[in-house]
Structure 1
Amino acid sequence: MEFLGTSQTASYCGPKKGCGFSTLPPAVRAPEIQECYQPYYLPGYRYLNSWRPSLFCKISNAQPCGDDGAPGPSALRPATVLPALRSALFCRYSPRDWDKSNDLQIRGAEASRLWASRLTGDSMRLMQDKDQLTRQMQEGTCRNLGQRLSDIGFWKSELGHELERLLTENRSMETVKRRLECAAEEINCPLQVALECLYHREKRTGVDLVHDSVEKNLIQEVDLLKCCQEQMRNLAQRIDIQIQDNRDAQHALERDLEDKSSAQFIDEKCFNLRNTSDCISFFHGVEKVDGTVTVPETWAKFSNDNIRHSQNMRANSIRLREEAENLIETLSDQMWKQFTDTNLAFSARISEVTDMKNKLQTQLAKTLQEIFQAENTIMLLERSITAKEYPLKVAQTRLESRTRRPNVELCRDIPQFKLVNEAFTINDTLQTLRLRLRETQDMLQLLLMTKCRLEHELAIKVNTLCIDKEKCMSMRKTFPCTPRLVGYT
């Protein structure tokens, strides 16, 4: 059984023991006390048995008393109920425990403060170092972005200058190409004149069918014109191919310039970004993504290659333009010389016949008069058809409106019968007028064809009877393609 306010380790709480002496010897030494409990705990922590003080863990070395002369058991056993003052002597801790605990608390607090102070200092230095490193990295990035913007601006200016020169060269090539094509097309006119002269001269009869100098010059002129036309078209095709190559180089420059502009816009935006900007945000893991495809050397080499390719294309274009100018000038001189020789040969052979020419001219005048009358008839028929369309619209509108009459009101009355009859009649009238209009138009086309045939026959007869003066020399008064060939407008 454990007494209230005592511990089981107390010496007076054990079982009753007999004493071998009746009384304590007078000269016996005081019992030696040994400590068996050392309270130790970390600052701020206590073990479960730390409540037990060291006062209650002292072992006595006293010898047991004898029976004779010793006091009775009642004299050595404490009272069952302790007084209040005695209970105060058996508290849980001793002063040494109190002092040691306070000392441990103070040392633990000092160690914690020292560790916290060191950690705070290290944290402040770490923050300063990282802030300085971050500022240096941002300043370096801004410098690199500025240098990058400078490089992009340099290549943009080079690309823009080369693109402007290439566009100018392309316009010059387009002009030369149009001149060659126009010259080749203009050759068709004197070529057609020469071929027509040959054709008309084949219509001659009798002794006029001779292989004279006029026919020889005409054949030479036709061959020369065809040869010049073929050379111009071949050169125009070469220029067209060169223009396509120039456009490929132009597209490469424009694409590169557009990419440079986009990159410059993005880098300027990145260069102007600050820690206080509104558009910044977190993009987790973006630094782990490497989407680059070039390095600065290959990046600069790409633009340099585009510029060099454009320069090569411009050099080829310049050579072709010079070749075209020389070709145009040479061919123009050759054609003009041959044209003059043929005209001189035509001037030596001229004769006239007027009977058939007058008959053909009279017939042509009548045909023209008939054409004028047919055109007037067509105009009147068109007006009549337009005038008949409105009554037809009125009749059909009335019929359509009467179809919406309700129920038994849909009666086939006299107005309905008259409206139907009116619509059919007007429609038949329109069909008849349109048929007559088509017939008149066909007749007009026939008259036009007749006029063309008469003009053609008149030209043939004039060329046959008058040989050169009335037909050939009238067509050969000028050389139509000469102004275009020499580059004048």
Structure 2
Amino acid sequence: MATDPSKYTCPQICPTTVKQDDTKTYLEAGMTRVNENPFASPYIPGVIKPPEPKVYPPDAPPRYLPQPTDTTSGDILGMGPIGPWASGHLDWSPQAGTTGVRPVVDKYSITRYSTGEWRKNNEYTLTPRATNKARALETQIKQDIDNAFKNMDAKLSDTNRNLDKRIKDLSYWKQEVEKTLHAITEEIDTLDQDRARLKGACRILMMPEAISRECLELRTNRYEPDLVRDEAEQELVKEVAIVGEIRRVFMETLAKVENQMAMNKAAKISMEADWSDKMLSSRLDKQNLSLSPQSNLILCHPGVARWPENATTLEYWKHFCSESIRNCEEVRKKSVELRGDLMTNIINGSQDMKLQADRTNAALAETVAATEEVCDKLEETLRENLQKTADIENLIDYLKDSLRKVDERGKLVMTRLHTRNYDRPGVENCRDEAQYALIGEAKFIKETAESLTDKLRQAETVRSELMKYRGELEKDIACKRKSLNIDKDRCSRVRAHMPTPEEFAGG
């Protein structure tokens, strides 16, 4: 049995009729659609509208030059029966002059170019091509002249920089020569003085030996916990031995002094000549650096752009400067070594005594510092012990007070329980929630009292230990103060008379 499909379909969604295909039509070139141009139909009164003012952008160029809104297309206007123009197609495209393309012709004019092309022609005409060429030539010549003078200024600046660098090099080497000259002069004076100071140094050796032995004897008075063979005592023993070693090497090499003095004077004369040459060269280069193209002292000197016959290389100059200083330094070092050999006590002996005295003083200072630190730490620990003892005693009082309060709470709970257990009549004496709460509170109070009692016993034990520790700290502090009195006060006053290297050198 056939069924009608339209009964089960929606005509709006599933149409039964096939929609006819709308074919699109396109116009050929040069054709216009009907009624698209308002002027294509016959004239109707009221169609003409008043003129609209043209609006140009704020940054637009003058109106006779190309505008951003210009176009070269000729289809921007539609032609109708109104106006002096003949009907037809306006050709304002760039192909306006091509053969076969004719503009609209009437008795007034021939419409060949658009307004945009007219403005482009104005821009081309107003562009000064020859003037630009002249301006470019002028700019190029001025730029070449400026570049030439800039290059000459750069060369002059480079020359000035090189002269300044040369002056700095001369100043550096002159200062080095001055340092070497001062050093050799001082060495000559020192070498001349060392010979006279040697004999007087022998008499000074007895003082450091006596000081060292007295310090050793003083340190035997320390209490037993601090009576140790520490580093300070070892340095004192070594100090006594060094005095005996220096006494055996006092009288040696005095015969080489006169020969070394002659060598020192020859090196000094050489350094003085070198310093004079560098001083003269530095003054000449500073004078050249101060000259400029506007100076009144500049003259023409033909043939000077060449190397002089006696000119040396820069490498040889640097080698000569360093070698002359090195030779003088070698002579000075030999003199220093010779002065070191002058009975050793003037330099090495006195320095060894000074170094050993410094080592002993440093060991004593380290011992004193350590003793002071441990003494301060002991005192701080004692203060903490006293404070902690007071805190523990306050804690014990607080525990006792807390136990009294806990006892009062217990009495309160027991009173409540006694009242509820024996005073409530008959069935009212039941196990209600309040009864359970009171029993639980009584149990908790009992446990708390036992815990606080145990903590009170622990606090009393700690207090007894703190009191015992306090006695130990006070005894140790007394011992450390005795050691500080010996090392810091008595030994330091004795060692303050230790002779210095200057006293050894002065005889």
The question of a shared fold, defined as TM-score above 0.5 by the shorter chain, is answered with no
The normalised TM-score by structure 1 is: 0.30
The normalised TM-score by structure 2 is: 0.29
Which structure shows the higher helix fraction?
A: 1
Please identify the structure whose Cα radius of gyration is greater: 1
